[in-house]
Amino acid sequence: MEWLSDNERYAAIEENLKIINADIAEAAVKSGRAADDVKLMAVTKTVESKFINHAIGKGIKLIGENKVQEFLLKEPELDLTGCKAHLIGHLQSNKVKKIVGKVDTIQSVDTVSVAKEIGKRSLEAGITTNILLEVNVGNEESKFGFNPDELEERACEIAEIGGVNVSGLMCVAPICEKEAEIRAIFSNMHRMFIDIGAKKMDNINMSVLSMGMSGDYKQAILEGANLVRVGSAIFGARIYR
Ligand SMILES: *Cc1c(COP(=O)(O)O)cnc(C)c1O
């Protein structure tokens, strides 16, 4: 949307949010839940702070950033009153120290070792950090996350770590040609979410199922997502500089 003026872009964000909020409500109700059972996260990578603040002014209560450095640079410019921030991109252990205490939840925990580092830094800071376990639900070479067949075992190991609270699962679904394929992927995530939750392990409370992005958030909600992460459908196509 680089050809749009700032004012046109503010208007587009408002219009997009109306459409997405209506879609979310409809899908939530179709899946037997209330509209407000599903949270909308605005994914803000590459988006300038003024546009993020505009979305927050229009009711966004949750934002997601991929990179530690980018979040820390923008954070002083953001009006985060009433809005929480999550980290959703791959986190290297050497960056953990910088982000612990700065975000409400780290959604992209993909190894036991990064969970340990988050726990260690959280205990040092006297806090507990909420984490989600990222699942490589399509078993894709190119993606981060636990493979579905090791997830439960790794979840048990992570549950032993002090300073972290496992509050759910997250995935970035593979690109699927067919509606039925993506629905099956999300349904599989939902089953793992329910199964692990049913084990009632100490330190694990499966309350957040974070799945669905601009292209597939409706399908994700129909299969049980309660947090969708939407970027380009709100802010327009990303411009990487
Ligand atoms: C970029 C990103 C999103 C949002 O993607 P859109 O297709 O723009 O909605 C969601 N989750 C993660 C982890 C991302 O990196």
Q: Rounded to the nearest 10 degrees, how much is the dihedral formed by the CA atoms of 127, 128, 130, 134?
A: 110
- Helical (H) or strand (E) element with 175: none
Q: If you average pLDDT over residues 88-107, what whole number do you get?
A: 98
pLDDT at 18: 98
Cβ of 230 less than 6 Å from ligand 1: yes
| pTM tops 0.95 | yes
Q: What angle do CA 65, 176, 66 make, to 5 degrees?
A: 10
pLDDT at 105: 98
Cβ of 88 less than 6 Å from ligand 1: yes
Please write the tens of the pLDDT for every residue from 122-133: 999 999 999 999
- Considering only CA atoms, which of 83, 91, 45 is closest in space to residue 65? 45
Counting from 1 in the atom list of ligand 1, the atom nearest the Cα of 230 is 9
Contact 9, 1 (CB under 8 A): yes
Would you place residue 4 in the very low, low, confident or very high pLDDT band (cuts 50, 70, 90)? Answer: confident
pLDDT at 2: 59
Averaged pLDDT score across all residues of the chain: 96
pLDDT at 40: 98
Q: Quote the ligand 1 centre to 108 CA distance (angstroms).
A: 12
pLDDT > 90 fraction of the chain, expressed in percent and rounded: 94
Q: If you average pLDDT over residues 43-53, what whole number do you get?
A: 98
